[in-house]
Each structure stands twice: as C-alpha cells, then as structure tokens.
C-alpha cells in the first residue's frame, strides 16, 4: 500500500516512528514491540536511518520484516549522509525488490561530532536532489518529505525555508510530515503559508509526548522547535518527578491531537523514541474519536 493512496481516504492517518537499535537484542525487542501494534491497525510505521552506516543495514532488515512478517505497511527513511549516489541507488533497489513502496528521503543530520553537513564525493547536497534521484530511478515509489512548521534550524528565515520545501515538493514528494511541535497555531500557520506557496500536498503532523524535561530540551534545541512558556513552566516545576512530567506531556500531546483532528489534519505521526506505551495509550484514545476506522 502506498501511503499517498491512504491519505486520500476519509479518516486521517495514524502512524508511529521507530529507530533501529544497534545490537541484536534491541533489534528483536523492537520487532516484538512493533508486532504488538498490529491489532491497533496503524496506517504505517516508519523506521529511521542511521548516519555513517551505524544502523542502515538494520533499517533495511527491519522494514523488510515489518512488511513480510508483521503485515504493517512500513516506510523506510533514507538520508544523504555518508553515501554516494551509487550506494544510495543500491539501497533503493533492494528496498523496492523486497516490496517496500514508501520512502522518506532526507538530507540527514551531520554525523556525530560535526557541526555542518558535508556530502561525500559523489553524494547529494540536499534532500530535493535525493528525491529527484529516487523519482527518476523508480517513478512508482511513494515518497514523503520532512517539513518544519517553525522553520528549519539552518534556514535564515521561514520564507527561505518554504522556498526550499517547494523545491523538494517539485522534485517529486507525495506528502509531508512535520518536525515535532507543541503549539498547534504554528502548524496551522505553516499549513496556510504552504498552501499560498503552491504546496497542495497532505501535511501530516508530527507529535512527540514529553517524557523527560532534559531530553525534550535537547531535541527542541536540535530541531528548532520551541516549548510554549506555560508548558515549559509546568514541566520544569516537576522536573524531578518522572511520572508527573509524563502525565503533563501525555495530556498536552493528547489535547494537541484532538484539536488537530477537529481541524482537518491529514494525519498524525507519533515520534515514539521506541517507547510505545505512552503513544499506544494516546493512539487508542485518538482513534476512538475518529468518525471511521482507517
């Protein structure tokens, strides 16, 4: 199933994102976690792609097993980091040969210890180049694209970021998934601006429930998202109480999702950090509010 076809149906999509652990024990633990999601009937699950070759093989193995053994539609992330065109082409060919129809082409973050992205010789500089390359190689694949409601952290301003996004869309993206955000007003403003810029694709909202104050501050610093002042005061006031932070984070994320559903969101994508308990509870509540099942 191509995700773009599912997004044309009535009910919003609901999906999860995971990252492949580096060791075999973690790999199989995650596999069983994803397998346990089958009764929930998520629209798809996505699997991230490690930079520098760290987890690339495991990403490929995991999405192939999700597709063939679990029966949930997978989407494989694919980045430009540390790979030539030929190497990426071989990965795309292998995924296609194993029936993987959905990819999320990304530029990717600089390798650990480096502050700026530098492509390898014979590699890609930007995600739009990777999108165009895949689209030319396998025109029938379904391609997602990343977007930033508050602007990419490396973009000089939001207008330039939107120009760059339009370039990626024109290269052949079928739908968009946002970076995490905590204020729905940012999402709605971005969606309106994207439409005015000629971007008429479904935009899926990326949601991450706050489970740790230290962790979420690190993530938002990396991706350029902000935590609303009122929410930040709430979680900082109970920073040493893990359960209290988790409760506040879950409540806020759930209210975000319910509001998004009331405002015609194309889909909700849960950034799980491989912790399915929190997102599973949210998912079940949210799915019960949908007018029809996916």
Mean pLDDT, residues 30-49 taken together = 92
pLDDT at 294: 41
Element housing 101 (H / E): none
Does any domain span residue 294? no
Q: What does 171-235 look like in DSSP terms, one character per residue?
A: HH--EEEEPP-S-HHHHHHHHHHHHHTT--S-EEEEE-----HHHHHHHHHHHT----HHHHHHH
What is the average pLDDT score of the chain? Answer: 91
Residue 293 lies in a domain: no
Q: Whole-angstrom Cα distance, residue 94 to residue 104?
A: 15
Clarify whether 94 is annotated catalytic: no
Question: Which pLDDT tens digit goes with each residue over 208-263?
Answer: 999 999 999 999 988 889 999 999 999 999 999 999 999 999 999 999 999 999 99
For the record, the structure tokens of 153 come out as 């952290």
Here the CATH number for the domain that contains residue 207 is: 3.20.20.220
Provide the CB-side half-sphere exposure for 96 (13 A, CA): 15
101 located within any domain: yes
Q: What pLDDT score does 113 carry?
A: 62
Q: Which domain holds residue 263?
A: 3-288
How far is Cα 26 from Cα 32, in angstroms, rounded to an integer? 10
Would you say residue 151 lies in a domain? yes
Give the pTM: 0.93
- The tens digit of pLDDT for each residue in 100-135 reads 999 999 988 766 666 677 777 888 888 999 999 999
Total number of domains in the chain: 1
**132 within domain boundaries:** yes
Q: How many CA atoms lie within 13 A of 120 on its CB side?
A: 16
| Catalytic-labelled residue, pool 17, 73, 129, 150 | 17
Could you tell me if residue 22 is inside a domain?
yes
54: confidence class by pLDDT, cuts 50, 70, 90: low
Is 220 inside a domain boundary?
yes
For residue 52, CA distances in Å to 26, 84, 110, 187 come to: 19, 12, 9, 32
pLDDT confidence of residue 278:
81
Please give the pLDDT value at position 293: 44
76 located within any domain: yes
pLDDT in tens, 150-195: 999 999 999 999 999 999 999 999 999 999 999 999 999 999 999 9
């Amino acid at each position: 199933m191509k995700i773009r076809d599912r997004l044309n149906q009535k009910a919003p999509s609901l999906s999860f994102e995971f990252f492949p652990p580096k060791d075999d024990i973690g790999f199989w633990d995650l596999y069983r976690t994803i397998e346990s999601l089958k009764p929930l009937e998520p629209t798809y699950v996505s699997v991230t792609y490690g930079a520098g070759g760290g987890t690339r093989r495991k990403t490929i193995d995991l999405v192939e097993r999700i597709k063939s053994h679990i029966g949930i539609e997978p989407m494989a992330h694919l980045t430009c980091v540390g790979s030539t065109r030929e190497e990426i082409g071989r990965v795309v060919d292998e995924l296609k040969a194993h029936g993987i129809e959905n990819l999320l082409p990304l530029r990717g973050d600089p390798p650990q210890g480096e502050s700026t992205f530098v492509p390898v010789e014979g590699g890609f500089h930007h995600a739009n180049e990777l999108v165009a390359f895949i689209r030319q190689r396998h025109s029938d694949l379904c391609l997602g694209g990343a977007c930033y409601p508050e602007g990419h952290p490396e973009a000089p301003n939001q207008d330039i970021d939107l120009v760059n996004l339009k370039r990626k869309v024109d290269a052949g993206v079928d739908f968009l998934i946002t970076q995490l955000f905590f204020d729905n007003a940012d999402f709605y403003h971005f969606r309106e601006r994207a439409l005015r810029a000629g971007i008429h694709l479904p935009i899926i909202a990326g949601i991450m429930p706050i489970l740790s104050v230290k962790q979420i501050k690190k993530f938002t610093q990396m991706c350029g998202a902000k935590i609303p002042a009122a929410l930040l005061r709430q979680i900082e006031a109970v920073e040493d109480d893990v359960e209290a932070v988790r409760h506040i984070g879950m409540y806020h994320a759930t209210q975000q999702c319910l509001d998004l559903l009331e405002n015609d969101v194309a889909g909700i994508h849960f950034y799980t950090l491989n912790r399915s308990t929190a997102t599973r509870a949210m998912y079940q509540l949210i799915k019960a509010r949908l007018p029809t099942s996916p």
